[in-house]
């Protein structure tokens, strides 16, 4: 599957749909070194589309883990200034950024919670402006899944390394719709379906959403002017791309002060390589009041201490248990993929595009309208075959929009 013809299809999809390259643009590709050949082909496809430049920034997850294990604690509080500058300056220039994503789980012994948290906090602080511009879609960006040997071995431990890698690429091919005769056309049709779903939800004029299921009884208020959006998002330049591939969700803005109740995570979560298997959270007046986990430890504790916004919701997303990803019946240990098999919420930074006119508001104005700001954005899955989501409308009615984890 990971052959030249497949890579060429992947590369065309990247520059046509994920970050549609315009003549004269400069594309930055952030990639694991294991897929350097694919990164090269994406660069070639970008040049064929008229790019003025295509450059690659390699991020080695194994080297990053070695740093977390071996560097002094003082060094972990420092994020490389050159890397922060490269990403921030590219965003300031409104140039496209494509990130090739592969899940990475810690390969050695655990007990790195505090060290993981230090490194994560340093990264979030150094990339605060970059994250702000990214959340406002001031430039086209996208994260696309790629297969690496380490991730494949983790998902298919019984297979040989070669077979495991091919199995993962075959799965990603289905999820990225690269197995379709015309992948770009397939994505356009998929995006249109979810966009229609967004329009239907907007017409309901929802005031709040009630999530109920095992371990979950949660009420989430939605601010006036919230809007639902799906896979296709237009940047400030008016170029429509797809920020996540794969994606099966529709999402909107929770009011930062109006979440009450408790919720239970339903799928494992990976934070900087550390696996978290269980998490329960309680909210009062929009603020996280209590959380419990036997596996999160210091990592989550330090993450939540980043700023006040880290204790409030920034995203609510609905995904059917019948989605393309859910039908794989597999945990991928990748938020990019797992969140598209399950309804999910996110602590931290909200996306101004989920509020009408939100992109034109200052941070203070966005917050006053109900939006949340934070250096972090932590997605966690809450969907299940037992989940029901009920919308309470501004007209006083109630509409069940999801039952048994599926769209009604």
User: pLDDT tens across 125-159, in order?
Assistant: 999 999 989 989 999 999 999 999 999 999 999 99
Mean pLDDT of 207-222: 97
Note the pLDDT tens digit of each residue in 67-80.
989 999 999 999 99
Tell me the average pLDDT of the chain: 94
List the domain boundaries for the chain: 4-175, 197-407
pLDDT band at 100 (very low <50, low <70, confident <90, very high): very high
DSSP 255: P
- At residue 126, the pLDDT reads 95
Distance (Å, whole) CA 134 – CA 140: 8
Q: How large a percentage of the chain has pLDDT more than 70?
A: 98
Alpha helices in 33-182 (DSSP H): 36-48, 61-70, 73-76, 81-92, 113-126, 128-135, 149-155, 161-175
Return the residue matching tokens 């939800």: 201
Using CA atoms in the order 248, 252, 256, 259, what is the torsion angle rounded to 10 degrees? -70
Note the pLDDT tens digit of each residue in 228-278.
999 999 998 999 999 999 999 999 999 999 999 999 999 998 877 778 889
Note the pLDDT tens digit of each residue in 327-361.
999 999 999 999 999 999 999 999 999 999 998 89
Are 161 and 130 within 8 A, CB to CB?
no
Number of neighbours of residue 249 by Cβ within 10 angstroms: 25
Kindly state the tokens that stand for 266. 């339903």
Distance (Å, whole) CA 229 – CA 319: 12
Kindly state the tokens that stand for 347. 């602590």
Second-level CATH architecture of 4-175: 3-Layer(aba) Sandwich (3.40)
DSSP 396: S
- At residue 53, the pLDDT reads 98
Give the predicted TM-score (pTM) of the model: 0.93
Q: How buried is residue 3: exposed, middle or buried, by Cβ count under 10 Å (0-12/13-18/19+)?
A: exposed
Distance (Å, whole) CA 165 – CA 336: 18
């Amino acid at each position: 599957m990971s052959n030249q013809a497949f890579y060429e299809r992947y590369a065309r999809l990247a520059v046509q749909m994920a970050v549609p390259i315009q003549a004269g643009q400069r594309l930055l590709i952030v990639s694991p070194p294991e897929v350097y050949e694919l990164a090269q082909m994406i660069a070639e496809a970008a040049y064929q589309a008229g790019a003025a430049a295509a450059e690659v920034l390699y991020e080695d997850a194994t080297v990053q883990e070695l740093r977390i294990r071996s560097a002094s604690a003082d060094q972990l509080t420092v994020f490389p200034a050159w890397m922060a500058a490269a990403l921030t300056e590219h965003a300031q220039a409104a140039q496209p950024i494509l990130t090739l994503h592969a899940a990475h789980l810690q390969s050695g012994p655990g007990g790195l919670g505090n060290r993981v948290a230090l490194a994560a906090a340093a990264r979030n602080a150094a990339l605060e402006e970059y994250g702000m511009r990214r959340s406002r879609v001031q430039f086209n960006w996208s994260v696309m899944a790629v297969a690496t040997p380490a991730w494949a071995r983790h998902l298919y431990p019984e297979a040989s390394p070669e077979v495991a890698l091919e199995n993962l690429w075959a799965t990603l091919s289905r999820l990225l719709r690269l197995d379709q005769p015309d992948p770009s056309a397939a994505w356009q049709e998929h995006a249109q379906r979810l966009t229609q779903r967004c329009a239907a939800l907007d017409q309901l004029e929802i005031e709040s959403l009630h999530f109920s299921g095992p371990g979950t009884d949660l009420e989430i208020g939605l601010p006036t002017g919230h809007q639902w959006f799906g896979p296709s998002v237009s940047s400030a330049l008016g170029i429509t791309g797809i920020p996540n591939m794969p994606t099966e969700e529709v999402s909107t803005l929770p009011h930062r002060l109006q979440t009450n109740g408790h919720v239970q995570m339903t799928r494992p979560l990976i934070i900087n390589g550390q696996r978290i298997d269980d998490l329960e959270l309680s909210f009062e007046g929009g603020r996280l009041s209590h959380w419990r986990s036997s596996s999160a430890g210091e990592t989550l504790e330090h993450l939540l201490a980043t700023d006040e916004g880290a204790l409030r919701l920034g995203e609510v997303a609905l995904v059917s248990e019948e989605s393309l990803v859910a039908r794989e019946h597999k945990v991928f240990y990748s938020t990019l993929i797992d969140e598209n098999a399950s309804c999910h919420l996110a602590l931290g930074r909200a996306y101004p595009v989920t509020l009408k006119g939100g992109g034109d508001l200052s941070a203070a104005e966005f917050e006053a309208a109900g939006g949340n700001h934070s250096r972090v954005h932590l997605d966690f899955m809450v969907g299940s075959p037992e989940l029901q989501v009920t919308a309470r409308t501004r007209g006083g009615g109630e509409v069940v929009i999801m039952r048994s984890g599926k769209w009604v």
